[in-house]
Structure 1
Amino acid sequence: MSAATSPTERRVSARIGAISESATLAVDAKAKALKAAGRPVIGFGAGEPDFPTPDYIVEAAAAACHDPKYHRYTPAGGLPELKKAIADKTLRDSGYEVDPSQILVTNGGKQAIYEAFAAILDPGDEVIVPAPYWTTYPESIRLAGGVPVEVVADETTGYRVSVEQLEAARTEKTKVVLFVSPSNPTGSVYTEAETEAIGRWAVEHGLWVLTDEIYEHLVYGDAVSVSLPALLPELRDKCIVVNGVAKTYAMTGWRVGWIVGPKDVIKAATNLQSHATSNVANVSQVAALAAVSGDLDAVAEMRKAFDRRRQTIVKMLSEIDGVVCPTPEGAFYAYPSVKGLLGKEIRGKRPQTSVELAALILDEVEVAVVPGEAFGTPGYLRLSYALGDEDLVEGVSRIQKLLAEARD
């Protein structure tokens, strides 16, 4: 071992040094820094609703600030009343009946994902990850000692993978399949039949399923979000559900997510959290309690706005020569293919990758988008339409004008 790689010389561990920065947060940070410097940047980077958190949720949090019982440590796994409310919400929204002992409240969805993988993966275990994928999934798998195995779907299938593709990727080391519907970054939503087929395949081969339901309430048109463990009771003993309040209730900054799963897995993940972070901030937990216990009226209003923006952004992007933009059925992202523009001359440059094209768009017209490389599929861009209508139209108009200059 050379001195350069000696453990005594290495300043950052190999395990942590291998983690990539969150590409979506990096793009959002750059856009915000440019804005702070006075530049008229429009950011399509972060998956963050532009609406304020509903008033009744904020008021519940404000009241909690004045209650001394929330000034102290509480159970690491979550406030009992919140866990009960999450169980009730899970039954109400997806038809899946669970006990509060099957729930762990976490510091946002990212911690939920990491702790779920950490609780069930041993070194070398493989996790099948459909791509395009959210940037955090493979990093969480690697941190937990697992090996992500990508299965790629493209615009020709609506970014949905098939059972045949999953089976082709399965090996004797496969332990988990990741299932995400509605999807970040594509907005794809699996049909009930597709969902059931994937679930039955997992049951047949004794695989675990981690299903991320964070966008469950953001579906449009005829699309329906189906919860796998509700659909297939025989899967429940090897199914972990990740969810949270961030997207549904415009609460990204409150940092409250949760895991639903078998009791032994939840106990193990709770033990991990007891040493990592202890309890989630009590004020945030009380806010989440108000959110999941309340009705979905505010969510319905936000969904109307997202649906309107969804239609606008798809129409405008589809008007650009060289861009193919499937209509997303859920979440709040468009994921157009820009492969038809790569290699073309645009203002004296010939971007060869979607990374280079995204950089050109930011430099030339001050619009921030995330390149497909961040999601495991080069040749695409992700644009979040969770921003104001005027900014959306202005931002895409700038992109349209720039890319109209593309020449062979």
Structure 2
Amino acid sequence: MSRSRKVSVSRRSFIAGTAAALGLPAIAGAQPAAVKVGIIHPVTGFVAYNGQQGRLGATMAVEDVNKAGGIKAMGGARLEALLGDSQSKVEVGVSEVEKMNEAGVAAYIGCFQSPVGIAASQAAAKYNTPFLIDVGASDLLVTRGLKNVFRLKPGFGACVDQGIAALGALNEAAGKPARSAVIVHESGEFGTGTAKLLAGKLPSVGIEAKELIGHDNPTRNFDNVALRIRSMAPDLVIMSNYQNEYVLLARTLYQQKVNLAGLFSVLGGGFNYKFVKELPDVAQYMMDTNHWFNPKSDKAQALKKRVEAGGALFTFEVYLAYSTVMLLADALEHAGSADKAKLVAALDASTFKAELLPYGPTKFVNGQNQGGRAAVMQALKGDIEVIAPPEFASAKAVFPRPKFG
């Protein structure tokens, strides 16, 4: 004879059980909706390597946020990366913004190239969607009055100021071997804007800008530019261009044995471990003012090891994109929501600590972080050393560089 048993079933359990029986999603204890993040980089096109490096850093950060429990203020919501390829084209970058808006992104991160970032962030402004610039040097990105645009790193204005100050100090300490310079730059917004700023600032440290030489992207041959530089006999060549042209110009000047007191760059797109490891003789003694990680940061060194263990190089695109995703995650924690207005407000008030970078406290003014600053590096013996600012320096600068025999 069977004995009946009473089972107490709560309303919540009944609903959850019924939902499971009918194949419906359970309400109780459901995973919160993922926060969709649009990540746009040029992973094809003439700066594909840089874009791929940026995507690597961003996706590693998304993975780390999720592994650490997601956005805790939102019940552990995970970040979901929507990956876009701008193809190095402005119109494609805008198209990616529109496509991702339809998919319901809460924020965008990108775009490496300033012209693409300018247009893409303008498109995102129509929807009041936050757009975080990971790499993009033009100060037009943050001087248009758009409330949705935020940049953690310094732009070309701050980088030029810091680079010129460091160059002036080096030149003074060496007895002023450099009195003239030729500036070679890519002809887009990034290179042209940087070159104009450089030409205006150089006289303040006693150096004359003899000429500004622009070039197209891509450029396959710099022989004529090198001959032109040789005929002007400047003490310095200052470069501002993307990866391929940066490396090609440096290699051409080396092959033609153009003697200079220094080969210097501000935001030199090719000054990275890839260049220094593959062409150590060409890179030797070159200097660059650029975004760099804090060599004294344990977290930066740990991430560097992870990236290299995966067969990649720890270039600036990686740690800037990584840090920008972490900035967004921090803002989501403070906002407690993916609501766009709340997220913009949280970013605007952010005090995020950029632990991987040699920065001061984060403070956004009109979307630009006032705590961001560049470092000055020099290629020495197949490696890259920080030579300024002093508190982050790992080596003493060699200036002027030895002449060719």
**Same fold judged by TM-score > 0.5?**
no
> RCO (CA 8 Å, sep 6+): is it higher in 1 or 2?
1
The normalised TM-score by structure 1 is 0.31
Specify which structure has the higher proportion of strand. Answer: 2
Which one has the largest radius of gyration? Answer: 2
